[in-house]
Each structure stands twice: as C-alpha cells, then as structure tokens.
Chain A
Amino acid sequence: MYPHLITDNTITIIRDGAISTITSQAPSFSAVLDAIKSGNWDEAVDLMTPRHAVESYVGGSLTIDGGNLYKDGHLIDHAMVSHILTMRGKGFDVAPLMAFLDKVLANPSMRSRNQIWRFVSTNNITITPQGNLLFYKKVKSDYYDIHTGHSYCYTVGSTHSMPRSEVNDDPEVTCSFGLHVCSYEYLRNFRGDRTLICEVDPAHIVSVPIDYENTKVRVCQLTVHSEVENPTPMATEVRSF
C-alpha cells in the first residue's frame, strides 16, 4: 500500500514521492478504485498516469513533452490523444491508432489533417489494423453512384480515385467535387438501395464539410470493403477485418 487519499471526487496516491492524482471525471476513475480495492497499487498508479498508455510507443518519432504528444515533431491533437487513451482504457491494442496516426501525418494538407482531428473528436470511427478508416456509402441497386448513375461502379473490392486537386478542400463548401463517404449517423439522411463499407486511407481525406455535424467526408480515393444488408451502427472499438 502506498500513502493515498480518496475523496468524493479525487484519488491521490504517493508512490516514491511522486504524486498521482485524478478526478472522478477521469475515464479510469472506477478502474483505479477497483485496482486499489484489490490491492494492485502499482496498477492503480499506472491507470492514473495516462502517459503510460502511450509511453510504450514513445521512442523514435513519437515523443511526449509536457502534456503534449508529438509525432515527428507534429503536435498530435488532444482529441486524438483522448481517443488513444480511451482505446487503451478499454483494453484494446492501440497499434492501429498509431498506424492511423502515421497515415494522417502522411496527408499532405494541414487543413485536411486538422479536419480529420475534428472528425475523430465528433464521430464514432472505425479504424482497421492498417490504420485506415471505414466509412459508409449508399449506392444504387446496380452499384453505380447515385448522383450520375453511371460514373462510378462501386463493386466490392474496387478502388476508385480522382485527382486530389479536383476534390474541393474547402469545408465551408458543403457539396462539391469529390468522392463522398460518411459516418453511420449521416447515412440515415440518404436514399440509395445498397449500403457499402468503404476503406479510406486517412492520407486520402481531403475535407470534412461542416454540414451534417462533420459526419461527411470528401476523399480522393476509396476502396469498397464490403456490403452490408442491414446497416447497424459500428461500435467505437477497433475491429479486425
């Protein structure tokens, strides 16, 4: 047992003179309490120190400075850090998130990267082990796109692309050129006979238009991953496909 103090809304543990303290609002609060009850004080301290969750990945390109996480010198948005910590807190491997991080940073546009953080913070996202994102898309019964009906045939396994320079990167312009995919929430707003899951490399995301609460994404390349008959919300957890 380490010296400690538990109040209604805080837990403080002193281990070797180092203070760890969290509030009851922290995601790991109940887990810390459980660890303390079962006598696992070191585990409790680890749970109270969020940086431990990412420290095993630190080294090389990933660094921690103060309360901030950097990848190749780029500040990682707090929304992404929270996401990593949540995944970690639920016991998931965060390697896919690290792969995702690599791919986001490979995105050539700073505006696009910032919009991806915004998307991550407001939506349930599904990330593949390769760090790609899975989105939804509605198509016609013959798998052709809804807009023109004959431009793109989204058969499962097919990859579609258009030059990045032709995709509108202005998030203020809510409908414009680009291949469109969306989150499950946005899917409800759409007509269409078939629902597809599309895999998108974060580096190929061009913009996240501001309408529909940031749930729609314009990309310059996508691969049709699979078709779902009766779409149900994707869980926030990382899944393997």
Chain B
Amino acid sequence: MLIEINNTHQSAGLTKVCDFAIETNGVMIKALTSRLYSNPIASIVRELASNALDACRTHPMVVSIPTPLDPAFRIRDFGQGLAPTQMAEVFTRFGASTKRDTNSQIGGFGLGAKSPFALVNSYTIISYHGGHKTTYVASITGNGMPALHEVHRIPSGETGLEIVVPADPSPQWVEALSQIQFFEPRPLIKGCTFDYPDPLHETPAYLVMPSGGAKVLVGPVAYPLAKDRLTNNTIPPIVLKLGIGSIEVTASREEIVYSASTVATLKAHLHQAVTDYRTVVNTLLSGCTNVYDMWRILEGAVLYPEWNYHKDGHTYTVHQRSVSIPTHGYRHVVRSPRRKTWRINSSGSSTLNYYKEDVIYLEDDSRKLQERIANHYPTLPNVISGTDIYLVKDRTHFDRLGIPVYPISSLPYSGTLRNSPKPRTFRIVNSKDKLVPDPGPFTGYLKVSEDLEWRGQVLTGERYNLMSARVGKFCVITPSFRGSLDGMQDIAPIYDDKVHEFWTTAAPRLKEWFSFAGEIVYYQRPLYAACANAGLLPPTPADLSKEPHHHRNWQDISLFCPNLPPLPLSIDYAKEFKNVLQTYPLIRTLFSCTSWTSQDIPAITDIVRTLIKE
C-alpha cells in the first residue's frame, strides 16, 4: 500500500528544541501488538493472509484453523520465502515494510507480521528459501521486547513461508475467515468447512452479496461500511471494489478512517453502485406480468427495505420478503402472522402484503359458508387472516393481479398449520357450530376438524397426529388430541376410548370422503391403522387392557389381527410431499400434511419455484 509522508512544513523565527522520538521498550511493543487490535483472531487471519497473498498471487495459500487434534493456526504461502536478513527485517522491526512504495501490495504499516503477538507470546515461522527450510521462533522476552530465534535448518527444495500460531479451537477462527473471503486465488481452508459465498451480481465496480452488511474491498481485504457515517438509509449488501490506497484504513486495518475525502469517495461509489443495481433489477421487473414472476427476480435480488416499483399505473412497494400490492376499491385488513404486524388502512387505498410462499388465498366457493359469513359476519372484510390462509370473498381483484386464489372445495383437507408460530385452525371454516351442514362432496376436511372441535381438543401448540393417511396423491391429516405431553414421558401411541371412538367413526368416513382420490392407506397409530387398512374393527381399549401391557405395542398387532397386511411404515415423506406438490400447488396447507422436516424445505422450495415458473 502506497503510504506517502509529504507534509507541508514551513517555519520562520522558531528555534527547534528537539525532535520527537518513539521509545523502544516493552510497553510500546505491547501497544503495537496486544493493544492494537480489538479482535486479535480476525486480525491475525487478515494480516497473515494479506502477507501470504502479497508473497504469492499465483498459487493459493493454505489456511488451517485450529482443531482439537492440531491446536494451531497455520498459514502457508508458496512465494519465495525469506532469507535470514529479510526475516530479521520483517519480523523484528515494527514499522519496517517493503510494501509502502506501491499499491500493488496490501501491507505497508510494518505491523501485520507481528500480529500473532496480540494473542500469544511466541509463534513459529518456517521459511523455505534458498534451498533450506529454516525454522524460527519469535517470542516476547522477559522485558516485553520481542526476539527472533533460529532453531533449526535443513536442506529443502520448497519455497514459501509457513507461520504457526499456537491457538485453541474456537468458532472465532471460522468467523474470521470471512475477512479473506474475497481473496484471489481463494485460500484453501483446512480444519473446517467454509463455503465461499457467491455474489448475486458482479461488475468491475461492485459485488452484490446474498447477505451480510455493506462492505468495501480495499484490494482483497473487506472492511465493513459504517452505515451512520455515509447515509441515513439502509445500505444493501453491496461490496464496493476500491483499489489499495484509494481510501485510508487504520493502522490495525480493522476499519476505514472516515476522513472527509474517504466519506466523499465512498458515497460517490455507493450511489453509483446502488443506482446501477436498481436499474438492473427494474429492467428485469419491467418484463414481469404477475407477482410470481416478480419474485423470481426479487428472490435473487437484494433490495432496500422499501423500493417502489411502478408498473401499469400502480406503485408496488417491494420489501425484502414481500410485495405490497395496491387494492383500490376494497377495504382490507391484512395481518402478517409471521411478522405480527397489522396493516389497517381505512382510507380506501390500502395495500395487501403478499408474502412469498407464506400465504394461500382461498376463494370461498361454498355457498352455504358464504351465507354463514353473510349472516354472522356482516362486517367481515374482504380478506380475513387468522393464520397463513386468507379467505377471499371477491377474487376479481386477485385475478387481475395474477395472484392465484384456490377454491376451498379444492382443498383435500384442513388442519392446523405446521410452520406458523401460533398455528390456528381456519376459524371461518372450522366453526364451532356443529350444525353447519356439509357444504359439498369434496369438503370432508370440514368434518374432520368439526369432530375435533366438538371434542374441544383442537391443538394450538405442538401437534400430534392422531390419524395420518394417504389417498393416492393426497396426504390426509387430522389434528390430534392434546395430551399432557410436557416433560419426559413415554409417548407411545395411546389407545383409549376417545381414540378408539375417533378411529371407528372417522376412519370409515375418511375413506368415503376421499374415495374420489383412490384407496386410503393409514399409517399412524399402527394398531388402528392396520385394522382400518384391513377394514376390520380395532380391538377396544377394554380388550386391550386384558392383555399384558407389551401386547399393546405395535409389534403385537398380529396377536389381535393375525391376517393384517404389513403397514406402510417406511413412507418417504419428502418424496410423498413432492408428489403432492406436483399435483396440487397448495403449498402452505400441504405443509401440515405429514412430518417432513425443515431440512426438506430447500428441496420443497425448489419444487415450488419450478411450479411457479410453470
């Protein structure tokens, strides 16, 4: 890094008493090592890696972070190594640097090579140079002054430098690797898995990263940008590319010096980058015909929290995770359950927040339910949200905006929603009024929930499936009874009177309701599932209680029902779900249909995206 000292100094009539000087003692050394860095580990990684990059830009350096088996931070470059005289100059003289006459190299303060002293009192340097491998130990001596010791020398044909800093394993070492994530060639990382994040968008002037704060790259070293120094707005994760020496950094090189000239430079570059990137995104958005297309663009874009986008005379407010769509002419009450915010606007120009993959809009195509709504909820707004499902009274506006609205009767079932923070039943549909007549042939799901409501046992917390089944491509689930399941208790399937009654009544009804979709196969509550699959009545709890307790375990089903077919216990839930999704894009509701895990969500999301594209 080019560092010029060329101050104007003109004087007359002054008598110089003496020059200032820096005392060389242990205290001063301490100030330049252990007291210099606020984050020693990150500084050691950054400084030593910068030196390694300066030494060799053609062969990737090898960076090993401490592990229990090898408790040392190691960094090895494949440059020319250092001769003994160079070793003395680089490692024993603070402020000595060979790099301050050029901006082609990162260093320049003459401090970085000594940075391990910020953490430990000794470290090892192995120089492969001039046909020898020479091992040195640098240490802080008793009076606080550092010293370099040559301890071993053998012939070697290798070149380069390896620095070994004794250190204990710590997550901080892995975190510190973010300091060198933009190095080229990319360092080889050992001792942990480190994924270099790929930019979403790259130009010669800037990068747009998928996450993280705004940064400025001075050469390859990334410095965080302090938002409050530059703008009052949120800065997207844009990484500005600036040359070495174009802005000033602190001696510890942990942050930028926000001088007036640096702030002006950064503001200009940031403005240019943001303007350019907005143009890129807006160009892509202008080709969209509906909100799904917009998401395909936006899900890969990084945006300001509020980014207005004009199209067809409307203003779409684009958020990081949602798009607000104007819904003129209607009065809406929209609530986002995930964000726990209400957006109520009675001015007639309210907006509807449409969240990516979070919401299903349902058209109530059940005439009787519409009547019920009209009778019981005369002031009901157009869109009702009690959970992730929104009930739409008038789908005209949604059709115009290209937002899919599904008829209620197309739902294969209803139930609590798995991934909602406070899952609720679908209150409008899932009424406590037992007298609501069956609204149609494909709405068996109402009955399932009604039964559970009738028992007053609808789950609102963790859910336990009382009955799970699959019907062709459908997954059918019922919310279960809430048990006193807190604590360490054995939660084996319970076969009591309530469960028995439920199964003996609900199972045949489910079979009837879903006959249109194919044969129903039950797979939870093994004893009952096996019986239901075979069309047999399960043994009563009274029968079961006469048996030794272990006979109630599923393995002993054969004691009661010797001719039962085997249970489909090895269902591939994720695969099952993908099948369902490919047929019925009822994304959120289906999340409750079986017990795949959050690990499956990336795969599910991919499918959803494919569906959206199609």
Contacts and interface: CB of A to CB of B under 8 A. Distances in A.
Nearest to B126: A19
B120 interface: yes
Interface string A92-105: 00000000000000
16 contacts: A5-B122, A9-B120, A10-B120, A19-B151, A19-B164, A50-B68, A51-B69, A68-B67, A111-B597, A146-B488, A151-B490, A151-B549, A175-B489, A176-B491, A177-B491, A180-B491
A3 interface: yes
B167 A23 contact: yes
Interface in A11-38: 12, 14, 17, 19, 21-23, 25-26
Nearest to B486: A175
A200 interface: no
B120 A66 contact: no
Given A10-B166, A26-B168, A66 B64 contact: yes
Interface stretch (B132-140, B242-250, B342-350, B451-459): B132-140
B595 A168 contact: yes
B137 A5 contact: yes
A17 B134 CA distance: 9
B11 to A, nearest CB: 47
Q: How would you classify the secondary structure of chain B's contact residues: helix, strand, loop or mixed?
A: loop
B342 to A, nearest CB: 27
> Which of B68, B464, B545, B552 has its CB near the most chain A CB atoms (within 10 A)?
B68
A178 B164 contact: no
A50 B69 contact: yes
Closest 7 pairs between A and B when the two form their complex, measured CB to CB: A147-B489, A67-B70, A67-B67, A7-B121, A81-B68, A175-B485, A21-B166
A67 B189 CA distance: 11
Interface residues of A, number: 62
Contacts of B553: 162
Contacts of B595: 168, 170
B483 to A, nearest CB: 8
Given A10-B121, A66-B190, A152-B492, A177 B69 contact: no
Contacts, number: 176
A8 B488 contact: no
B22 interface: no
A147 B491 contact: yes
A172 B152 contact: no
A21 B72 contact: yes
A127 interface: no
A238 to B, nearest CB: 18
A69 interface: yes
A174 interface: yes
A166 B599 contact: no
A114 to B, nearest CB: 11
B526 interface: yes
B121 A186 contact: no
Given A12-B137, A66-B190, A162-B553, A7 B122 contact: yes
A148 B595 CA distance: 24
B371 to A, nearest CB: 39
B14 interface: no
> Which of A19, A78, A81, A191 has its CB near the most chain B CB atoms (within 10 A)?
A19
Contact of B490 (A145, A168, A172, A190): A145
A134 interface: no
B121 A14 contact: no
Contact of A177 (B486, B493, B545, B597): B493
B485 A151 contact: no
A43 B7 CA distance: 59
Interface string A44-60: 00000011001000000
